Structure 1
Amino acid sequence: MMAATEREHLSPDTVEDYFRLGAAAAFQMGTEVESVLEIDPSRQEMRLISPALGGEPEVAGYERIAVERTSLIGRQGDWFQLTVDATSMHYEAYVLIESIVDQLESGAPFRHAVSESLSGFKDLLSGRSRLSDEKEAGLIGELLVLHHVLGRLGENTAVGAWLGPLSEEHDFGFQEFDAEVKTTRSESRVHVIGSESQLQPVPGRPLYLVSVQITLAGAAAEGFTLTSLISLIRARLDLSRRAFDAQLERLGWKDSDADLYRKKYQLRSKPRSYLVDLAFPAITGPQLDEVVPKRALVSGVSYRVDVSHLPFVAPPTPLNDYCEDLA
């Protein structure tokens, strides 16, 4: 074990060198409190060892963290051993342990030091991540439409009509038309169109853009989270539950991350529907073919369209009573 009377902060490059070269090491980090950092490249772990004083930290909610009370050869008393799975986050694990030692040096008990330090690393160390705000909003919009059509088409037909998770051109394929659902949290109906095919109708099938506006609900009784919306739909499913869950997984949803979606939303306005015809301001492949030289060299088309003041129309069933009535 290397010892020092004054702690030396390791740089990101130095930490990476230990793991890259497979060099196991141990450092005395504390100057006031005994605390040892162990680097174990073979296990992709970092461990902090400190006297077991006070209660054991609560780390059950973290997939990458473990704490045990143990005895050490040649040392008296019990010791806490905090183990961090440092896979793909070597320096972050080091900074976490350094933060815990700082807390210990300031007089905090081990339990409190760990709790305070983990608060800033919660999502990272739990091995969990949430959908981006944009993807969360998009999924909410599609699920709101699905929830509505469940009562009009039945579960098998409704879930079968939801094509968005399958990377098809449009989000829903109903018997008589297709629908592309766009969701925004802005006051205006400004939507991001992510490709040249999103608003390109399939020959012989009308395409409608369904504009959904949501906003934060605060403590409003009618507010919902993404998690509660998924639970609401699942409660209405029987034979198609497995197909629905598979669709969610394709979009990046994990039940184990459900508690990360705490924001409550509500509809800002009643959804509107717009027929995507030749008068609609869409950028499509055929249009680009006509005006862009060397068209094959252009890819990754993305743009914003503001439909706030465009004329909206009543879509066919099963969305005719979901979108705003022209009257």
Structure 2
Amino acid sequence: MSERDLSPDTVEEYFSAGVEAAFTLSESTDSVLEIDPSRQELRLISPALGGDPDVASYEHIRVERINVIGKQGDWFRLTVNATYLHYEAYVLIVSIVDQLESGASFRHAVSESLAGLKGLLSSRRKMSDEKEAGLLGELIVLGHAIDRLGEDQAMQAWLGPYSEEHDFGFEDFDVEVKTTRSESRVHVIGTESQLQPAGDRTLYLLSLQVTLAGASGDGFTLAELITSIRRRIDRARRTFDTALQGLGWADEAADLYVTRFQVRSTPRAYFVDDQFPAITAPRLDQVVPQRILVSAVSYRVDVSHLNFVVPPAPLEDFCEEPA
């Protein structure tokens, strides 16, 4: 088997070996493939003939002109961040080399190959660990709301996918869901509005703790949780699927989510009032000179030792009661 015909398992073996490797993919076009497991990268080295490819819209792909020791002229080095996309990145590079052998310029070969594989590359991307935990927590709360309110009201209350200020807007109060994998209830607050009550509506921070499940029978993956909720909804199925896509979920990448979680403790609810340690726009306005120049506020808050409360329905039986 040639290096142009590697199977997914063989590509994984190269990355698992942990050692950089390089081999010629095409002698006629002088194209070389480099595999760098430490950086999770695949690189294609080829003579820089013609204009530079336009890859500015691709987050995980870059192209640069380099000098190659022992070679004359400029060379292109196309680098693909192959994290969670080892085989897909390899297929992309082989496709480019196939185009080069057919007489295409490097610019055209890259453009055509990216166009052909764009859907595959985008659908196989796994969300970050932080986003995975965040979605996990929202779905746990959504599942409870479906049981208590029914799918229509629960889906209407779920605001997380729509870039609203808070994750849930129930009839009489709002909820910001925060999920952590740490032993303490330390949560990342990503904006100055996340813990800012909307008008006169009451706001609660709902703290969830999850941990790795190992071989526990109570464990579940994010993909399994999504499947479980889909089985409990009917009319709102399309709305649910659209919401998931907006949050970065793709069914085609479900097999990438192999981490099994379990709930570490009973969730706690905290009333966000004037005494809650929140950084909000009104508070910043009072103390920060030239406030207009401050943006992208992000901070951590440890609620482990704060007083927690029982929130209203439908979450009153979901959260821990104070002693």
Determine if the TM-score, normalized by the shorter chain, exceeds 0.5.
yes
Deviation for aligned residue 1:13: 9.0
Equivalent of residue 17 in structure 1, options 28, 34, 48: 48
- SS class of match (1:220): coil
* Runs of at least 5 residues in structure 2 that lack an aligned partner in the other structure: 1-25, 35-42, 54-75, 79-85, 101-119
Q: Is the 8 A contact 1:170 1:178 kept in 2?
A: yes
Deviation for aligned residue 1:128: 1.6
TM-score, structure 1 as length reference: 0.67
TM-score, structure 2 as length reference: 0.67
- Which residue pairs with 1:234 in the alignment? 230
Equivalent of residue 292 in structure 2, options 288, 291, 296: 296
1:283 partnered with 2:314: no
Partners in 2 of 1:173 and 1:16 — Cα distance? 57
1:308 partnered with 2:304: yes
After superposition, the Cα gap between the structure-2 partners of 1:297 and 1:65, relative to the gap in structure 1 and judged at 3 Å, is: closer
Q: Is the 8 A contact 2:124 2:250 kept in 1?
A: no
Question: Rg larger in 1 or in 2?
Answer: 1
Q: Is the 8 A contact 1:63 1:126 kept in 2?
A: no
Equivalent of residue 167 in structure 1, options 158, 163, 167: 163
* Runs of at least 5 residues in structure 1 that lack an aligned partner in the other structure: 23-40, 45-60, 67-81, 91-123
Q: Is the 8 A contact 1:217 1:265 kept in 2?
A: yes
Deviation for aligned residue 1:198: 0.3
Partners in 2 of 1:282 and 1:251 — Cα distance? 25
Partners in 2 of 1:230 and 1:208 — Cα distance? 25
1:77-226 superposed matches below 5 A: 84-86=94-96, 128-226=124-222
Number of aligned residue pairs: give it.
Answer: 239
Query: How many percent of aligned residue pairs carry the same amino acid?
Result: 59
Q: Is the 8 A contact 2:167 2:175 kept in 1?
A: yes
Q: Deviations over 1:50-74 (max 9, x none)?
A: xxxxxxxxxxx955667xxxxxxxx
After superposition, the Cα gap between the structure-2 partners of 1:275 and 1:62, relative to the gap in structure 1 and judged at 3 Å, is: same
After superposition, the Cα gap between the structure-2 partners of 1:270 and 1:18, relative to the gap in structure 1 and judged at 3 Å, is: farther
Amino acid at match of 1:196: E
Q: Is the 8 A contact 1:189 1:307 kept in 2?
A: yes
Amino acid at match of 2:125: S
Equivalent of residue 242 in structure 2, options 204, 227, 246: 246
After superposition, the Cα gap between the structure-2 partners of 1:62 and 1:298, relative to the gap in structure 1 and judged at 3 Å, is: same
Amino acid at match of 1:155: E
- Which residue pairs with 2:63 in the alignment? none
Q: Is the 8 A contact 1:191 1:305 kept in 2?
A: yes
Amino acid at match of 1:84: V
Q: Is the 8 A contact 2:31 2:47 kept in 1?
A: no
